[in-house]
Amino acid sequence: MNNWQELEKKYYMKTGNRVPVTLVRGEGARIWDDAGREYLDFVSGWAVNSLGHCHPALVKALTEQAKTLVQTSNQFYTIPQIQLAQLLVENSCLDKVYVCNSGAEACEGAVKLARRYGSLKLNGAYEIITAFNSFHGRTLAMTAATGQVKFQVPYIPLPLGFKNVEYNSIEAVREATTEHTCAVMLEPIQGEGGVNVPDEDYLASVRAWCDEKGILLILDEIQTGIGRLGTLFAYEQYGIEPDIMTLAKGLGSGVPIGAFTAKDEVCVFVPGEHGSTFGGNPLTCAAACATVSFIIENDITANVRKVGQYFTGSLNNLQKKYPFITDVRGRGLLLAIEFDREIGQDMLNACLENGLLVNCVKPDALRFMPPLIIGNSEVDEALGILDKSLSGIDS
Ligand SMILES: *Cc1c(COP(=O)(O)O)cnc(C)c1O
């Protein structure tokens, strides 16, 4: 057998640390490594495999589309792209969709659209307010949008026009707003920043402020959208509507795809102002259509609410047993536990040893983002492994 990890070291550019496991095959919520070991996957390709691994509906759509048409240029009309746009519009408050290839690209597109809107309708306003501990992707501009110094410092100078402010503070948004502001861009719950859940009225307050100032609200639903929080989109739970919304991660259940969506009055691009070679290609759009249709037709969001509630309850019980768990938070199937010490990586390793994949989102916190199709039995299994892994820690 090849030593893949040695080969990786030799040939692959290092940009981050990996868990020392080589994954080769997946099915549902299970994944196997090259030694044949089975794991319960509560990472799901980073909240991506919404239907689990290799779901029959996804495989069928990909296989059929691969045999039919994979790529054209966007000079031509293609059917899966239009079907996906229709599906997203008919099931959201947004009116138009643009399909791209990743989350960072979706946020870039959203920011470009907001700037274009600012230049045409808001006297040239261009500045975007974003939050500390946010995550909007790794392009240069999205590094400036992402309010985390560790991602920004290596790449100074960063593109101008972003103001990072405290999350969950309407005051901070108000103070940062000037005549140059064209939009506020926020995650409904901050995912990469540590599963940070804002106060119940935060998004509504920001929405009201944006309305008062005539500026746009961009919701980055790349992690929270497509059912992850128990509704198709997170904004539904906060009684507000964004002007622009970005999607990616769970949209294609594993294929690289992103999208930004907007209200009609915000769609100010004219031909030539934005584009992409691969964006919206038939293969990825067919996969996304199959994913979103499956979620809607099978009421997967109800499952997310039910299993999410059960999972949260189980984690709360775990906290009673292990008081060094200081917080249980999140919604639907985007959950986290925080510890009073930095044992995240040790716990990840212990879970791995016991057959469960989790994410160490911060040195002192674990994040869980299982496929949306799991049941209570997978939660029980995961909790058993967590319990076993935590039992080695001194209170
Ligand atoms: C993951 C993520 C992104 C970036 O997506 P990529 O596909 O990695 O570029 C942007 N915003 C949020 C909220 C995310 O969770």
Regions of the chain with pLDDT less than 50: none
| Reported pTM | 0.98
Which pLDDT tens digit goes with each residue over 285-336?
A: 999 999 999 999 999 999 999 999 999 999 999 999 999 999 999 999 999 9
Question: For residue 393, what pLDDT is reported?
Answer: 85
CA distances from 85 to 82, 99, 179, 247, 249 (A): 5, 8, 34, 12, 16
In this chain, the answer to whether the domains covering 4-55+299-390 and 57-297 adopt an identical fold is no
- Written as six digits, the tokens of 192 are 């990469």
Our mutation pick for probing the ligand 1 site, out of 148, 223, 224, counting the most ligand atoms within 8 A of Cβ, is 223
Closest CA relative to residue 313, chosen from 362, 378, 383 = 383
- Our answer on whether the CB atom of 196 is closer than 6 Å to any ligand 1 atom is no
Q: Residue 133 in contact with residue 189, Cβ under 8 Å?
A: no
Question: 57-297 belongs to which CATH class?
Answer: alpha beta
pLDDT for res 394:
81
Whether 193 is in the pocket of ligand 1, judged by its Cβ within 6 Å, is no
Whether 249 is a known active-site residue: answer: yes
The DSSP call for residue 200 is: T
- Spacing, Cα 37 to ligand 1 middle (Å): 29
Q: Does domain 4-55+299-390 have CATH number 3.90.1150.10?
A: yes
Which residue type is seen at 292? V
Atom of ligand 1 nearest to the CA of 104: 9
Atom index in ligand 1 nearest the CA of residue 105 equals 9
The verdict on the CB of residue 107 being under 6 Å from ligand 1 is: yes
Is the C-beta atom of 191 inside 6 A of ligand 1?
A: yes
Contacts from 268-276 at CB under 8 Å and sequence distance 24+?
A: 268/113, 268/116, 268/117, 268/120, 268/121, 269/113, 269/116, 273/112, 273/116, 274/98, 274/109, 274/112, 274/113, 275/74, 276/74, 276/100, 276/101, 276/105
338 lines ligand 1 (CB under 6 A): no
Distance CA 76, CA 248 (A): 23
Cis upstream peptide for 271 (omega within 30°): no
Residues 6+ away with beta carbon under 8 Å from 96: 85, 89, 261, 262, 264, 267
Token couple for 179: 């005549």
Please report, for the chain, the start and end positions of each structural domain, with discontinuous segments joined by +.
Answer: 4-55+299-390, 57-297
Question: Can you give the pLDDT at residue 178?
Answer: 98
| DSSP-assigned beta bridge partners for residue 25 | 32
> What pLDDT does 1 receive?
56
Catalytic residue among 42, 151, 213, 220: 220
pLDDT at 183: 99
pLDDT at residue 392, as a whole number: 86
What integer pLDDT is reported at residue 290 of this predicted model?
98
